[in-house]
Amino acid sequence: MSFAKNLRCRECGRVYPLDPIHVCEFCFGPLEVFYDYEALRRTLTRERIERGPLSMWRYADLLPVTAEAAVDIGTGYTPLIRASQLGRLLGLERLYLKNDCQNPTWSFKDRVVSLAVTKAREFEFDTLACASTGNLANSVAAHAARAGMDAIVFIPADLEQGKIVGSSVYGPTLVAVDGSYDEVNRLCSELSDKHPWAFVNINMRPYYSEGSKTLAYEVCEQLGWRSPDHCIVPLASGSLYTKIYKGLKELAWLGLVEWRGTRMSGAQAAGCSPIVEAWERQSFDIKPQKPNTIAKSLAIGNPADGYHALKVMSQSGGQGVAVSDDEVVEGIKLLAETEGIFAETAGGVVIAGLRRLVERGLVDPQELAVAFITGAGLKTQEAVAPRLKPALAVQPNIASFENAFSEQASALPAARK
């Protein structure tokens, strides 16, 4: 059952019913789902969760929909792995990776979209919509297919063909908008007012964003019902980051884990780092930026939850870190070469950011740290392809192979030496 009680404005606290709305009518602040925590405390136990399906829907009691109604293509309960080799290289004794590459459309967006689509169907929408350059579009198109709903996906007109296929295969209406990033934003905002569509990250946003909490629940359960000491999370809109923190706090309030004061650190690419820029200025005032980075899945110049992310960073004792595009590529390669996980650019941002934090002495070598890897590398191959070692070219004889093989031994990846 769902224990969702109402929507509340994050700015002024006004209360609204659980409707398809996303901003407060008074102050235009963002709305967030609030739950009946007293009833949850009486009902929810570790055992009840453990009896649930091996997916994000085992935490349905903590989401604003019911599990029976779920539009699910197998999202969640992704691996949490101990990263011994990467940890040793970075000087961390207890480093874990939450590998959300293993979702149905290969990114964490399946969590938020699965929830948004379930809620959209409950509200009797027949069309899903989103504006995206990649992961979100893939997930919306896939879930719409599963739900038997129409999908309209807005993409920039100059988007690479490879990224279009990952959405178009599911049969949505793709709309290529010939305009700047800001113009696409404005158009979609206006369309969401005009058409009766479930725009997953606009009018469905209060429900959509709650899906990210399941990452926190899973990590705690997979650690044996224990919160991490430190989380390192990629920052785009700031929603994922703030919702992971909300998830950790909820489990502690409900007595399912002990509150450990988890420190929340966030990483961005320097080419689009409005949250980290404000953090370094020691300000809660976000200055919007024009994105210019290879980490396109994090390239949000005017982050909706930037202010709230800065609050979490400050309250939790975390850090904000920005890394160059070169470091992003190094981060992707380091993760792949040490732990066998090929992440997209957001994963490179997290690993490179973690390395920077360790170098600055901002991560305790003994603490239990979890790095969130939110999307798979096959989606952004162009970011690393030019930096990879070419194959050995040999003639079909033993001598040629032995010669080439011995030459390349000196060029082994740094992480393996």
Partner 1 sequence: MAKQRVKFTFAQEMIKEPVIWRLGRDFNLVTNIRRADVTEDRGWVVLELEGEMEEIERGVQWVVEQGVRVDPVAGDIVEG
Q: What are phi and psi of 379, to 5 degrees?
A: -75, -25
Total interface residues for partner 1 by CB under 8 A: 49
Examine residue 204 and tell whether it contacts partner 1 (CB under 8 A). Answer: no
Of the candidates 345, 342, 298, the residue with the CA atom closest to the CA atom of residue 326: 345
Residue type at 257? V
Q: What are phi and psi of 356, to 5 degrees?
A: -60, -45
Among 11, 122, 150, 367, binds partner 1 (CB under 8 A): 11
CB of 350 closer than 8 Å to CB of 234: yes
Among 52, 53, 74, 301, binds partner 1 (CB under 8 A): 301
CB of 35 closer than 8 Å to CB of 62: yes
Q: Cα(7)–Cα(23) distance, rounded to whole angstroms?
A: 10
Binding mask 236-255 for partner 1 (x = CB under 8 A): xx------------------
DSSP state of 30: B
CB of 136 to partner 1, least distance (A): 4
Examine residue 210 and tell whether it contacts partner 1 (CB under 8 A). Answer: no
CB of 300 to partner 1, least distance (A): 5
CB of 68 to partner 1, least distance (A): 29
CB of 109 to partner 1, least distance (A): 8
Choices 19-27, 118-126, 242-250, 409-417 (CB under 8 A): range interacting with partner 1: 19-27
Exposed / middle / buried, residue 295 (Cβ in 10 Å: 0-12, 13-18, 19+): buried
Q: Cα(8)–Cα(26) distance, rounded to whole angstroms?
A: 12
Among 78, 105, 135, 242, binds partner 1 (CB under 8 A): 135
Choices 40-48, 143-151, 191-199, 357-365 (CB under 8 A): range interacting with partner 1: 191-199
When the beta carbons of 61 and 305 are compared against partner 1, the nearer one is: 305
Among 182, 258, 382, 407, binds partner 1 (CB under 8 A): 182
Choices 114-122, 195-203, 359-367, 394-402 (CB under 8 A): range interacting with partner 1: 195-203
| Tokens coding 81 | 């792995």
Residue type at 64? P
CB of 339 closer than 8 Å to CB of 41: no
When the beta carbons of 134 and 266 are compared against partner 1, the nearer one is: 134
Measured from the Cβ of residue 120, the count of other Cβ atoms closer than 10 Å reads 29
When the beta carbons of 265 and 345 are compared against partner 1, the nearer one is: 345
Choices 82-90, 130-138, 168-176, 319-327 (CB under 8 A): range interacting with partner 1: 130-138
One-character DSSP codes across 72-122: -SS-----EEE-HHHHHHHT-SEEEEEEGGGSTTSBTHHHHHHHHHHHHHH
The contacts of residue 417 (CB under 8 Å, 6+ apart) are none
Binding mask 142-181 for partner 1 (x = CB under 8 A): ------------x-x------------------------x
Choices 22-30, 73-81, 221-229, 389-397 (CB under 8 A): range interacting with partner 1: 22-30
Among 120, 149, 257, 298, binds partner 1 (CB under 8 A): 298
Q: Cα(316)–Cα(326) distance, rounded to whole angstroms?
A: 29
Examine residue 27 and tell whether it contacts partner 1 (CB under 8 A). Answer: yes
Measured from the Cβ of residue 31, the count of other Cβ atoms closer than 10 Å reads 24
Examine residue 382 and tell whether it contacts partner 1 (CB under 8 A). Answer: no
CB of 151 closer than 8 Å to CB of 144: yes
Measured from the Cβ of residue 69, the count of other Cβ atoms closer than 10 Å reads 13
CB of 199 to partner 1, least distance (A): 8
| Tokens coding 256 | 């399912």
Among 13, 93, 160, 189, binds partner 1 (CB under 8 A): 189
Binding mask 92-121 for partner 1 (x = CB under 8 A): -----------------x------------
Exposed / middle / buried, residue 190 (Cβ in 10 Å: 0-12, 13-18, 19+): exposed
When the beta carbons of 88 and 186 are compared against partner 1, the nearer one is: 186
Residues of this chain that bind partner 1 (CB under 8 A)? 11, 22-23, 26-30, 109, 130-136, 154, 156, 181-182, 184-186, 188-190, 192-193, 199, 201-202, 205, 236-237, 285, 287-288, 296-306, 346
